[in-house]
Structure 1
Amino acid sequence: MDGGPWVRFAMRWLLAAWTVVVLLAVAAAAGPRVAPEDPGGTSAAGLTALFQRYGDTSGDWLGADRTASVPLPDGRRLWLFSDTFLGRPDPGGARPRSASLVHNSAVVQDGGKLTTLTGGSPGRPASLFSTGDDGEYHWVGDASVLSDQVQVLVNRIKRTGPGPLDHVLAATDLATLALPTFAAGRVRPLPVGDKVSWGSEVMTDGAYTYIYGSEAAGQMKFAHVARVRGTDLGQPWEFWTGRAWSAAAGESGRLLSGVGTSFGVRKVGDRYVLVTHENNLMFSADFVAYTATAPTGPFEGPHYLFRAPEPDAGHIVYDADLHLDLSRPGSLLVSYNVNDLDEAVAYADASIYRPRFFEVPWPPRVAGQLPPAPAEVAAAPDGSGTARVTWKTEGGRDYRVYRRDVTAGQTHFVRLPGNAPGKFEFLTNGHRYEFAVSAVDKRGEGALSPVAGMTATVPPPPAPAMVRAEPDNAGKVTLHWTEVPFVQLFKLYYRDLTTGQRGRTAAGAYPGQSATIGPLRHGHEYEFTAVAVGGGGDSVHSKGVRATVVVATPPAPGTPSAQTRPDGTVLLSWPQVAPGLAYKIYQRDATAGTTDWGVPGISRTTQFRSRPLEHGREYEFVVAAVNDGGEGTRSPVVRVRAQLAPPGDAPTRLRAEPRGTAVELSWRSRQTWHWIYRRDVTAGEKDFTREEVGAQGREATLRNLVAGHEYELKVAAFNPGGAGPQSSPVRVRVGSALPTGLAVVATGPGTARLTWQEIRSDVLYRIQVRDASAGEQWRTDPYPVDGSTYEAIMLIAGHQYEFRVQLDDLTTEPVSVTAR
Structure 2
Amino acid sequence: MTTRADRRRILRRVTKVTAAFMVIVVLLILGFAGWLKSRNDGPDPVASVECEPFERPRTVEDINDFIDTQRPAPGWAGGDVGASTALADGRSFWVFGDTLRPSTDGGPTMVRNSILIMGDDCAGVYRPADGLAAIPDRDGEVGYWPTTVDSAPDGEGGTRVVVGLTRVKAVGDGAWDFQELGASAARFQVPAGGVPQLVEVFDIGPDEPDPSKPLWSAAAYLADDGTVHLYGTRRSEEDLVFGYSLHAARTTVPDLAHPERWEYWDGTTWVKEESEAVAVIEAEKGVSRALSVFERDGTWYAVSKQEEFLGSEMVIWTSPTPTGPFTATGPVASLPSDDEVVTYMALAHPELLPEKGSVVVSWSVNAVDPTTLQSDPKLYRPEFRRVPLP
Per the normalisation by structure 1, the TM-score is 0.36
- Which residue of 138, 160, 177 maps to 2:171? 160
Q: CA deviation at 1:304?
A: 0.6
User: Which amino acid is the alignment partner of residue 44 of structure 1?
Assistant: V
Aligned with 2:67: secondary structure? helix
d(CA) in 2 for partners of 1:275, 1:353: 22
Query: In the alignment, what sits opposite 2:303?
Result: 275
Are residues 1:349 and 2:373 paired?
no
Q: Deviations over 1:369-397 (max 9, x none)?
A: xxxxxxxxxxxxxxxxxxxxxxxxxxxxx
Larger radius of gyration: 1
Verify the 8 A CA contact 2:14 2:368 in the aligned structure 1: no
Verify the 8 A CA contact 1:86 1:99 in the aligned structure 2: yes
Query: In the alignment, what sits opposite 2:118?
Result: 109
Query: In the alignment, what sits opposite 2:61?
Result: 45
d(CA) in 2 for partners of 1:86, 1:332: 31
Query: In the alignment, what sits opposite 2:344?
Result: 318
User: Which amino acid is the alignment partner of residue 242 of structure 1?
Assistant: D
Aligned with 2:318: secondary structure? strand
Query: In the alignment, what sits opposite 1:238?
Result: 262
- Which residue of 223, 226, 238 maps to 1:205? 223
| 1:296–1:272 distance in 2 versus 1, CA, 3 Å | same
User: Which amino acid is the alignment partner of residue 143 of structure 2?
Assistant: Y
Query: In the alignment, what sits opposite 2:181?
Result: 170
d(CA) in 2 for partners of 1:100, 1:212: 34
User: Which amino acid is the alignment partner of residue 346 of structure 2?
Assistant: A
d(CA) in 1 for partners of 2:263, 2:106: 44
Q: Deviations over 1:130-173 (max 9, x none)?
A: 34221222222224446743333322212334454443222222
User: Which amino acid is the alignment partner of residue 260 of structure 1?
Assistant: S
d(CA) in 1 for partners of 2:385, 2:250: 29
User: Which amino acid is the alignment partner of residue 101 of structure 2?
Assistant: L
d(CA) in 2 for partners of 1:106, 1:143: 11
d(CA) in 1 for partners of 2:153, 2:74: 33
Query: In the alignment, what sits opposite 1:814?
Result: none
Query: In the alignment, what sits opposite 1:70?
Result: 85
Verify the 8 A CA contact 1:238 1:245 in the aligned structure 2: no
Verify the 8 A CA contact 1:19 1:217 in the aligned structure 2: no
Query: In the alignment, what sits opposite 2:33?
Result: none
Query: In the alignment, what sits opposite 2:326?
Result: 299
Query: In the alignment, what sits opposite 2:279?
Result: 254
User: Which amino acid is the alignment partner of residue 136 of structure 1?
Assistant: V
Query: In the alignment, what sits opposite 1:136?
Result: 142
Verify the 8 A CA contact 1:28 1:68 in the aligned structure 2: no
Q: CA deviation at 1:305?
A: 0.1
User: Which amino acid is the alignment partner of residue 284 of structure 1?
Assistant: G
d(CA) in 1 for partners of 2:349, 2:389: 13
User: Which amino acid is the alignment partner of residue 285 of structure 1?
Assistant: S
d(CA) in 2 for partners of 1:98, 1:240: 46
Q: CA RMSD in A?
A: 3.9
d(CA) in 2 for partners of 1:21, 1:192: 23
Q: Deviations over 1:177-232 (max 9, x none)?
A: 23444423132323696444444334322122334343334443233444442599
Verify the 8 A CA contact 2:266 2:278 in the aligned structure 1: yes
Q: CA deviation at 1:49?
A: 1.5
Q: CA deviation at 1:74?
A: 4.5
d(CA) in 1 for partners of 2:263, 2:150: 19
Q: Deviations over 1:732-789 (max 9, x none)?
A: xxxxxxxxxxxxxxxxxxxxxxxxxxxxxxxxxxxxxxxxxxxxxxxxxxxxxxxxxx
| 1:164–1:107 distance in 2 versus 1, CA, 3 Å | closer
d(CA) in 1 for partners of 2:322, 2:313: 23
| 1:98–1:321 distance in 2 versus 1, CA, 3 Å | same
d(CA) in 2 for partners of 1:114, 1:209: 35
Verify the 8 A CA contact 2:72 2:78 in the aligned structure 1: no
d(CA) in 1 for partners of 2:124, 2:153: 22
Structure with higher RCO (Cα < 8 A, 6+ apart): 2
| 1:19–1:311 distance in 2 versus 1, CA, 3 Å | closer
User: Which amino acid is the alignment partner of residue 200 of structure 1?
Assistant: A
Verify the 8 A CA contact 1:136 1:159 in the aligned structure 2: yes
Structure 1 gap segments, 5+ residues each: 1-13, 35-40, 91-95, 364-820
| 1:337–1:23 distance in 2 versus 1, CA, 3 Å | closer
d(CA) in 2 for partners of 1:141, 1:247: 28
Per the normalisation by structure 2, the TM-score is 0.70
d(CA) in 2 for partners of 1:53, 1:108: 17
| 1:192–1:143 distance in 2 versus 1, CA, 3 Å | farther
Aligned with 2:66: secondary structure? helix
Q: CA deviation at 1:84?
A: 0.9
| 1:153–1:343 distance in 2 versus 1, CA, 3 Å | closer
Query: In the alignment, what sits opposite 2:38?
Result: none
d(CA) in 1 for partners of 2:9, 2:22: 18
Structure 2 gap segments, 5+ residues each: 1-6, 30-56, 155-159
Query: In the alignment, what sits opposite 1:465?
Result: none
d(CA) in 1 for partners of 2:92, 2:109: 25
Q: CA deviation at 1:28?
A: 6.2
d(CA) in 2 for partners of 1:201, 1:112: 34
d(CA) in 2 for partners of 1:337, 1:213: 21
Verify the 8 A CA contact 1:286 1:307 in the aligned structure 2: yes
d(CA) in 1 for partners of 2:203, 2:166: 11
Q: Write the mapping of 1:457-536 to structure 2, written as runs, cut at 5 A.
A: none
Query: In the alignment, what sits opposite 2:292?
Result: 264
Q: Deviations over 1:96-140 (max 9, x none)?
A: 997621112222333463333354x2xx42223334221222222
Verify the 8 A CA contact 1:29 1:321 in the aligned structure 2: no
User: Which amino acid is the alignment partner of residue 287 of structure 2?
Assistant: V
- Which residue of 185, 190, 199 maps to 1:184? 199
Identity among equivalent positions (%) equals: 22
Verify the 8 A CA contact 1:22 1:216 in the aligned structure 2: no
| 1:52–1:17 distance in 2 versus 1, CA, 3 Å | closer
d(CA) in 2 for partners of 1:313, 1:208: 43
Q: Write the mapping of 1:470-619 to structure 2, written as runs, cut at 5 A.
A: none
Verify the 8 A CA contact 1:292 1:300 in the aligned structure 2: yes
Aligned with 2:280: secondary structure? coil
d(CA) in 1 for partners of 2:257, 2:118: 26
Query: In the alignment, what sits opposite 1:695?
Result: none
Aligned with 1:290: secondary structure? strand
| 1:255–1:104 distance in 2 versus 1, CA, 3 Å | farther
Q: CA deviation at 1:81?
A: 1.7
| 1:85–1:272 distance in 2 versus 1, CA, 3 Å | same
Verify the 8 A CA contact 1:15 1:21 in the aligned structure 2: no
Query: In the alignment, what sits opposite 2:102?
Result: 87
Q: CA deviation at 1:290?
A: 0.7
